């Protein structure tokens, strides 16, 4: 009896032992020791490709509640299947202190294309006097805007919120009172609507006007490597407009830690950093990294070049419309010039659809030559 029990127990022990070995092998396979994971980053992705496939992602840090929420919402907005709009429109959003000197020129641009655009005007200082019927009743409730302060971003968000109410608006262009169109309406409409990217100026400037404006108080959500700079004049897709309006986490960081004259003499201008930083974190390949609004900084002054009546000729406008490279210059002593071809859906195209800054006096000139230079 006892002999029998002994002999029947022996194989049981062997089975248990083999099972234990198997389980631990599986465990090592599924949850490998950390050094395997980190050594993977040292090897080429080809060698590690299959490893990474089954390795759990190595979190660099634990996300905060707000960060996790922001990521989930962003991911969902970006993966939403677009409801096809019956009559897709572009929202032209004018951010201006008062009256728009180029209303008549814009009217020329818009006429004949009703149903394919909507206009919104945020006049932050005084009630504009409209000279074109297209602009009448297009003012939204506005608030005071201070240059370089968060109130600028607030005005941009206010314009977006108003324009998003119309579900036919699929693309959102921010323009100023000194902006003019460089092409005819059809060209602009097709350029913006037939691509999936937003045109947001964005680059990593290691100099004092870029990385120098970053504050460590932005941590942990915004690391220095994520900090970007770019002109505020954006042209964005509906999903990116939604991401900006859904965001309060990053917005609050900018509101608190990116403002003029903070931390001693350090200046930070939220309108030059908020959009490029947040959108390049949320959807890096969804933005073109250049703005479709041209501006000339080549004079190296505090303000960009302002074109006056005698300079505004057919030749000048032709020159601006034929630029096919976007240029960024670092603000450090090296002044590195970074040139990039403007690729639209992978094809070389002119970079710009709009331009600034034009003095009000150039209106007559532009009205005369508009049909000429927008032929191209």
Ligand X SMILES: *[C@@H]1O[C@H](CO)[C@@H](O)[C@H](O)[C@H]1NC(C)=O
User: H or E segment at 122?
Assistant: strand 117-123
Query: Between 85 and 368, whose beta carbon lies closer to ligand X?
Result: 368
> Of 250, 222, 247, which Cα lies nearest the Cα of 61?
222
Q: Which residue intervals of 90-172 are DSSP H helices?
A: 103-110, 150-164
Least distance CB 345 / ligand X (angstroms)? 5
**C-alpha to C-alpha distance for 269 and 259, rounded to whole angstroms:** 5
Summarize as ranges the residues that interact with ligand X (CB under 6 A): 194-196, 280, 284-285, 287-289, 313-316, 319, 345, 368-369, 372
Query: Between 19 and 196, whose beta carbon lies closer to ligand X?
Result: 196
Least distance CB 202 / ligand X (angstroms)? 6
Query: Between 100 and 243, whose beta carbon lies closer to ligand X?
Result: 243
Query: Between 186 and 315, whose beta carbon lies closer to ligand X?
Result: 315
**C-alpha to C-alpha distance for 58 and 127, rounded to whole angstroms:** 55
| DSSP percent split of the chain into helix, strand, coil, nearest 5 | 45, 15, 40
Query: Between 315 and 364, whose beta carbon lies closer to ligand X?
Result: 315
Least distance CB 300 / ligand X (angstroms)? 17
DSSP 8-class letter at 290: S
Determine how β-strand 89-96 pairs with β-strand 169-176: parallel
Least distance CB 151 / ligand X (angstroms)? 27
Least distance CB 204 / ligand X (angstroms)? 7
Query: Between 119 and 282, whose beta carbon lies closer to ligand X?
Result: 282
> Of 300, 315, 314, which Cα lies nearest the Cα of 365?
314
Instruction: Write out the DSSP string of 301-321.
Output: SSS---B-GGG--HHHHHHHH
Least distance CB 315 / ligand X (angstroms)? 4
Rg (CA), the chain: 27
Rounded to the nearest 10 degrees, the angle between the axes of helix 249-257 and helix 150-164 is 150
> Of 365, 375, 71, which Cα lies nearest the Cα of 246?
71
Query: Between 96 and 231, whose beta carbon lies closer to ligand X?
Result: 231
Determine contact, residues 174/159, Cβ cutoff 8 Å.
yes
Least distance CB 322 / ligand X (angstroms)? 8
Query: Between 69 and 313, whose beta carbon lies closer to ligand X?
Result: 313
Least distance CB 225 / ligand X (angstroms)? 10
Tokens of 127: 């009630």
């Amino acid at each position: 009896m006892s002999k029998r029990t002994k002999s029947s127990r022996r194989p049981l022990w062997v089975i248990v032992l083999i099972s234990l070995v198997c389980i631990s092998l599986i465990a090592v396979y599924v949850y490998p020791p950390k050094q395997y994971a980190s050594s993977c980053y040292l090897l080429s992705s080809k060698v590690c490709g299959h490893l990474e496939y089954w390795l759990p992602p190595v979190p660099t840090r634990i996300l905060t509640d707000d960060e996790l929420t922001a990521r989930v919402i962003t991911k969902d907005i970006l993966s939403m299947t677009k409801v096809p709009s019956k009559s897709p429109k572009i929202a032209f959003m004018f951010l201006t202190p008062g009256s728009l000197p180029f209303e008549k020129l814009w009217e020329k641009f818009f006429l004949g294309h009703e149903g394919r655009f909507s206009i919104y005007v945020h006049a932050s200082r005084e009630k504009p006097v409209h000279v074109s019927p297209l602009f009448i009743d297009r003012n939204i409730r506005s608030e005071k805007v201070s240059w370089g302060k968060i109130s600028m971003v607030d005005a941009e968000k206010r314009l977006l919120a108003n324009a998003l109410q119309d579900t036919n608006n699929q693309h959102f262009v921010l323009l100023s009172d000194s902006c003019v169109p460089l092409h005819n309406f059809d060209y602009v409409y097709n350029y913006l609507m037939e691509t999936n990217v937003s045109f947001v100026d964005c680059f990593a400037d290691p100099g004092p006007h870029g990385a120098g404006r970053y504050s460590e108080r932005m941590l942990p959500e915004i690391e220095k490597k994520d900090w970007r700079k770019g002109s505020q004049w954006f042209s964005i897709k509906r999903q990116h407009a939604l991401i900006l309006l859904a965001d309060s986490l990053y917005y609050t960081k900018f509101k608190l830690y990116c403002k003029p004259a903070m931390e001693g003499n350090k200046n930070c201008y939220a309108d030059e950093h908020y959009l490029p930083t947040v959108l390049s974190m949320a959807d890096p390949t969804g933005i073109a990294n250049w703005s479709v609004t041209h501006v000339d900084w080549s004079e190296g002054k505090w303000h960009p070049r302002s074109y006056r009546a005698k300079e505004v000729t057919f030749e000048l406008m032709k020159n601006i419309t034929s630029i096919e490279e976007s240029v960024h210059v670092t603000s450090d002593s090296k002044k590195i010039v970074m040139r990039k071809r403007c690729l639209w859906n992978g094809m070389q195209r002119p970079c710009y659809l709009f331009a600034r800054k034009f003095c009000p006096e150039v209106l007559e000139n532009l009205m005369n030559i508009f049909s000429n230079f927008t032929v191209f």
